Amino acid sequence: MKTLEITTQSAEQFAEEAFEEVSAVTQWFEALPTKILDSLPKIVGAVVVIVIGYFVSKFAGKLVLKIMKKNNVDESVHHFLEKMLVVSMRIVFVVFALSVLGVDVNSFVAALGAAGITAGLGLQSLISQFASGIEIMFNKPFKSGDFIELESVSGTVEQIHFMNTTLLTPDNRRVIVPNSHITTNNLINYTAQNKRRLDLKFSIGYGDDMALAKQIITKANEDCPYTIKDDNTRIAVGGHGESSITVDALLWCESPNYWNAYYDIHERVKLEFDKAGIHIPYNQLDVHVINN
């Protein structure tokens, strides 16, 4: 009989709790229109903030794109920088819209900052690459299409990204170089200037006509369509070797024509040397035999 009494009391208690919950839900739904009407100005304000943020960020992206084009920033990063700015501004406007709605964004911003610090500690190498990419973009030590040399790697700059730079070697190999490696090592940009000096060396025998050899090299430079007839051109004896005399030719050409001029001059000089009887000697060794 006692057990039955406890069960009955439990059932009544459960029914009362269920009735209270249903009443609370009913009251919430009844008060919902009033809450919506009370919050309507905040909702409208938040929507207006988001709409304004959308158009302001879009305008800012176009403005930054225009500035980058005016300052000759590499085209390979135009889209990335524009999108990064637009997305960042829209996130700021969304957070502001949440604050207009009355949402406490302080904890959200604090959590976002803590997550950023944690991610920064774990991704130091990636952040270093990104920072190097920013440095390359704005200092512009090279641009797409330049021919550069970095330690043992040389090639034409194909694309510049924030994390790495892609080079295309003369034998058509694609090399991906981390940006931090570029900013911390010596780099040679062969096409940064409009013209480039072409340093050539020609060996002739000690018995050959040195003046004639210099005339032939001079004529080859004058006839070559890829060289610049510059006042700084020098053709002179550069050294006396064990087997030959070295004639240095310091010529000039436009940077894109470097290899065309290099091969053209070598071919012209070789053909004219052959006609003039000037030979390019092999290494020679004199052996003296002493007969006791």
> What are the residue boundaries of the structural domains of the chain, listed by start?
11-116, 142-189, 195-276
Phi, psi of 104 (to 5 degrees): -75, 105
Task: Tell me how far apart the alpha carbons of residues 38 and 43 are, in angstroms, rounded to a whole number.
Answer: 10
* Pair of tokens at residue 193: 């200037």
* pTM for this entry: 0.56
* Amino acid letter for position 196: R
pLDDT of residue 120: 57
pLDDT of residue 249: 94
The number of beta carbons lying within 10 Å of the beta carbon of residue 245 is 19
Contact present, 45 and 114 (Cβ < 8 Å) = no
User: In terms of C-beta density within 10 A (0-12 exposed, 13-18 middle, 19 or more buried), how is residue 64 classed?
Assistant: middle
Question: 245-254 and 227-228 as β-strands: parallel, antiparallel, unpaired?
Answer: antiparallel
* Pair of tokens at residue 180: 């931090």
* pLDDT tens series, the chain, 292 aa: 444 454 555 666 666 666 666 666 666 556 556 666 556 677 777 888 888 888 888 888 888 888 877 776 666 666 767 777 888 888 888 878 777 777 666 666 666 666 666 655 555 666 677 777 777 777 778 888 888 888 888 889 888 877 788 899 988 899 888 888 888 888 888 888 888 899 999 999 888 999 999 999 999 999 999 999 877 889 999 888 888 899 999 999 998 899 899 999 999 999 999 999 988 787 766 677 887 6
pLDDT of residue 212: 93
User: In terms of C-beta density within 10 A (0-12 exposed, 13-18 middle, 19 or more buried), how is residue 279 classed?
Assistant: middle
The second-level CATH assignment, the architecture, of 142-189 is Roll (2.30)
* Residue 185 three-state SS: coil
Query: Which of the listed CATH numbers 1.20.120, 1.10.8, 1.10.287, 1.10.20 matches domain 11-116?
Result: 1.10.287
pLDDT of residue 1: 46
Q: How far does Cα 274 stand from its chain's mean position? A: 49
The number of beta carbons lying within 10 Å of the beta carbon of residue 285 is 7
Query: Which of the listed CATH numbers 3.30.450.20, 3.10.350.10, 3.20.20.220, 3.30.70.100 matches domain 195-276?
Result: 3.30.70.100
pLDDT of residue 37: 57
